[in-house]
Amino acid sequence: MNTEEKIDAYYSKNEKYKEGIAQLRELALKTQLAETLKWGSPVYTIDNKNVLGIMAFKNHFGIWFFNGVFLRDPKGVLENAQEGKTKSMRHWKFKSKSDIDEAAVLEYIKEAIANQKKGLKIKPSPKTEIIIPKLLLDALLENTSLNEQFNALTPYKQRGYCEYISEAKQQKTKESRLGKILPMISKGLGLNDKYK
């Protein structure tokens, strides 16, 4: 299956929000954005730079603006999906096709394109040292193979696992989370790879 077929398959498989994401796709294609597939979802680029993505989830669908932090957002609709973690990306979520204001969506898309052409982006902050929580460290030290798999992961994926354990408030939750991630680490997966 080529990229175009994969994109068409993405848009046709989502029954619940099929019409809504198709409408967003039409709006994106009215601009000079190029349609491609990244991370298993449609992404729209200009000069090979990510501008937006269109995605559907269990309870909503929407547009993900990669540098949405620079959008003026006159309608006050943009959300930061992971406050404190996501710096640039902003999401505009919809519950149904009737929620889509085509003129407004097109204006946001055009502004996002203009911002990308200007080169607006947040410079990444320097990475801090990865601090492995004791519970995870003990598990890694007990299992050489697991430790090797963890060390083979990118720093981003290592940090994701460490934060997942550290952010839990109760010891019981930390232990439960550890039980969930150990099989993923042993397979060489990152915390969010299961969603791809």
Average pLDDT of the residues in 158-181: 94
Amino acid at 183: P
How many other CB atoms sit within 10 Å of the CB of residue 68? 24
Mean pLDDT of all residues belonging to the chain: 93
Nearest CA-CA partner of 194 in 2, 94, 185, 85: 185
Query: Has residue 196 got a pLDDT over 60?
Result: no
- CATH 3.90.1150, the chain: domain bounds: 3-118
3-118: in CATH 3.30.450: no
pLDDT in tens, 33-46: 999 999 889 999 99
Residue 195: predicted pLDDT:
60
As a whole number of angstroms, the distance between CA 162 and CA 137 comes to 9
